[in-house]
Structure 1
Amino acid sequence: MYSLACVHTYTYAQVDNINLESNHKITGINIGKVQFNLNSLVYVKNNEYFNEIADGYTLIGYYANPSMRYKLHKKVQIDAGVFVRKEYGYNGLKEFEPTFTVQVKQKDWRFLFGNIEGNINHRLIEPLMTFERVLSQPLEHGFQAKYQKKEAFFDGWLDWQQSTIAGKTNQERIWAGVSFYSPTVSIKDLKFQALAQASVFHIGGQNIQSLQPVRTLLNPAAGLRLKKDLGKNQSVTIDNYYVGYFESPLRGTAYYLNTFWKNTKYQVGFSYWFGSFFNSPFGNDLMQSASRKFNNEDYYENTRSLAIIRLVRDWKISEKVKISLRVEPYYDLNNRIFEHSEGLYLSCRL
């Protein structure tokens, strides 16, 4: 989809996803010039789940987004291309569609119109947005405002997923959200950061012939980060979040605790999730109270309690080619079930 960002500090919960993140950062090409870009990802992700909440399956395939970049003004850039996605085991392409983005830069702010920087680029926590959307929903369309300066980060967006026409049955589907990481405050050798996120999903529309109810789901999250550098390119981070779910008249709450160690090649993380009557439309399936398993939609668990280990190995082949191996064992404390997920990802950006 996009070309890789060249930023020196990053802010993440759970683990660092920078090898897979991509964006439309305004480049140094001359005004009026055209530049070719390619973003591609080859992936395999295997979910071995045995509970009543989430299906186990394997995703294997690739996507590619060749595009042309045009510098209209020193603060305005246009990207236009085509996106193709192929999943092995199915005939034909899973997706084939044009991509188009107009970006305006103002100091440390970037404003995007068209195809926005979606999925993991929002830097949401897993309960609000599953990592797997980088594979299953690579494209988002709408409007976005982004800010980054050192470790401070803000992303506000609207993703228009489905439109409707008067008299038709399809409901409109709109996803909007904010992701905020405050500037760091240092006390001796410790860094503190306030974290706030929110996701709003609306399903509805006027003058349509649908028996489905109008729904608005809100998922806020607030947290605190504590980070300690352990020397060159090595650190330990602790993130603790309080997460909510609101959909009138339903309410849910959750706690999401994370700690991870990382250096330039390895990451080791531990997460604990406790959710009570929790639902998030795009969050990790394992963290939901309502089942998303095939032919098991009526199943519900009032509380979900998970212990998660995250193991990541990154290889930087070059500035343009990177590989990431991820292994995530889960233990369902309520049902006493051991589950796991593995993934291998090869990203290439020219």
Structure 2
Amino acid sequence: MHTYTYAQVDNISLENNHKITGIDIGKVQLKLNTLVYVKNNEYFNEMADGYTLIGYYVNPTVGYKIHKKVQIDAGVFVRKEYGHNGLKEIEPTFTVQIKQKDWRFLFGNIEGNVNHRLIEPLMTFERVLTQPLEHGFQAKYQKKEAFFDGWLDWQQTTIAGRTNQERIWAGVSCYSPAVSIKDIKFQALAQASVLHMGGQNIQSLLPVRTLINPAAGLRIKKNFGKNQSVTIDNYYVGYFESPLQGSAYYLNSYWRNPKYQVGFSYWFGSFFNSPFGNDLMQSSSRKFNNEGYYENTRSLLIIRLVRDWKISKQVSVSLRVEPYYDFNSRIFEHSEGLYLNCKI
């Protein structure tokens, strides 16, 4: 039975990691990670835009292990969005990784987006499509149910005299070891996201900003038979940006087996904002041409339906349908996505 842990549904099929495996010292290994996707948001509300993302990305890399604890991966990342001429993104990738027992330390391109296993209010699932690359350094720990991920993603730099601010995103995501009581597992959950925008000696009229979003929760999990489980996750989530602050409750439950996942999430946010969180959960509208629209509280019920196909060890397909109901606006809307992931 796998020991991966998630807050809403299991996203392991979309993770892309640099684990030190399968390479002999002094040998070269070719690797390929590919994702083909279509995601459709049928939104007509005042908070988030409706749109469709369709395209693919390809990341071939060469792995070289220079020591039993040190590995280097270098490659190129190419992303294409259908409907646009040319490529959406083309970037070199480079990662140096050091392994020490159950810890891994990454420098360069880090394991980002869904690999952080953040809850949707802190980081929207769509970053795996729109912001697949992160750069900086990262410390990760995994042992059975226990998990830790601490990182710094340097998103934008600046030079003295320029107008653009530097943008630095740091975060932590961790789950404690599980404590079992009569075959029911309990875990403490803690996460945080910090975005800083500023810089010294720059010619910008924009204010220096630091946005902080902490979250703390409790997981209750019961396994049934082979690879089947029911999980309940409850979080208290905060928002701090001097002098502003807000809070929220995020309640989740989901059932999963190797092919299906069914989840229910309830969100109640009060004066809540998170720079990379799901648009639907914010108090400030992110809808095009709707700047300034604000809702003091947001109350949502989200249903998550997932069907996974494991075609082979290297290829998997995931179909996701997520209808939701907005209690404030009394509207029912939905999104759906199909993802083909290939790891060689």
Normalising by the smaller structure, the TM-score range is over 0.9
Partner of 2:161: 167
Q: CA deviation at 1:50?
A: 1.2
TM-score (norm 1): 0.98
| Structure-2 separation of matches of 1:170 and 1:141 | 18
Q: CA deviation at 1:8?
A: 3.5
Q: 2:81 aligns with which of 87, 104, 115?
A: 87
Q: Is the 8 A contact 1:233 1:264 kept in 2?
A: yes
Structure 2 residue identity aligned to 1:283: G
Q: CA deviation at 1:289?
A: 0.2
1:259 aligns with 2:263: no
Partner of 1:270: 264
Q: CA deviation at 1:73?
A: 0.3
User: Any idea what the Cα deviations from partners look like across 1:308-329, whole Å, max 9, x if unmatched?
Assistant: 0000000000010000000000
Q: Is the 8 A contact 2:2 2:227 kept in 1?
A: no
TM-score (norm 2): 0.99
Partner of 1:157: 151
| Structure-2 separation of matches of 1:91 and 1:145 | 38
Partner of 2:114: 120
Partner of 2:210: 216
Q: Give the secondary-structure state (helix, strand or coil) at the position aligned to 2:95.
A: strand
| Structure-2 separation of matches of 1:303 and 1:150 | 38
Structure 1 residue identity aligned to 2:63: R
1:33 aligns with 2:42: no
Q: Give the secondary-structure state (helix, strand or coil) at the position aligned to 2:74.
A: strand
Q: Give the secondary-structure state (helix, strand or coil) at the position aligned to 1:289.
A: coil
Q: 2:2 aligns with which of 8, 11, 27?
A: 8
User: Any idea what the Cα deviations from partners look like across 1:234-284, whole Å, max 9, x if unmatched?
Assistant: 100000000000000000000000000000000000000000000000000
Listed as ranges, the matches of 1:297-336 within 5 Å are 297-336=291-330
| Structure-2 separation of matches of 1:227 and 1:9 | 12
1:69 aligns with 2:69: no
User: Any idea what the Cα deviations from partners look like across 1:209-249, whole Å, max 9, x if unmatched?
Assistant: 00000000000000000000121111000000000000000
Q: 1:245 aligns with which of 239, 242, 248?
A: 239
1:178 aligns with 2:172: yes
| Structure-2 separation of matches of 1:225 and 1:284 | 21
Q: Is the 8 A contact 2:110 2:138 kept in 1?
A: yes
| Structure-2 separation of matches of 1:10 and 1:98 | 29
Partner of 1:50: 44
User: Any idea what the Cα deviations from partners look like across 1:25-74, whole Å, max 9, x if unmatched?
Assistant: 00131111000000010000000111111000000000000010001100
Q: Give the secondary-structure state (helix, strand or coil) at the position aligned to 2:280.
A: helix
Q: Give the secondary-structure state (helix, strand or coil) at the position aligned to 1:19.
A: helix
Partner of 1:17: 11
After the TM superposition, list the runs of 4 or more consecutive aligned residues in structure 1 that deviate by more than 4 angstroms.
Answer: none
1:193 aligns with 2:187: yes
Partner of 1:133: 127
Q: Give the secondary-structure state (helix, strand or coil) at the position aligned to 2:276.
A: coil
Q: Percent identity?
A: 86
| Structure-2 separation of matches of 1:84 and 1:232 | 38
Q: CA deviation at 1:9?
A: 1.4
| Structure-2 separation of matches of 1:304 and 1:30 | 53
Q: Is the 8 A contact 1:175 1:201 kept in 2?
A: yes
Structure 2 residue identity aligned to 1:314: D
Partner of 1:3: none
CA root-mean-square deviation: 0.7
| Structure-2 separation of matches of 1:31 and 1:183 | 33
Q: CA deviation at 1:184?
A: 0.1
| Structure-2 separation of matches of 1:59 and 1:239 | 29
Q: Give the secondary-structure state (helix, strand or coil) at the position aligned to 1:183.
A: coil
Q: Is the 8 A contact 1:50 1:337 kept in 2?
A: no
Structure 1 residue identity aligned to 2:241: E
Structure 2 residue identity aligned to 1:301: E
Q: Is the 8 A contact 1:215 1:247 kept in 2?
A: yes
Q: Give the secondary-structure state (helix, strand or coil) at the position aligned to 2:170.
A: strand
Q: 1:107 aligns with which of 101, 109, 132?
A: 101
Count of residues in Structure 1 that have an aligned counterpart in Structure 2: 344
Q: Give the secondary-structure state (helix, strand or coil) at the position aligned to 2:12.
A: coil
Q: Give the secondary-structure state (helix, strand or coil) at the position aligned to 2:232.
A: strand
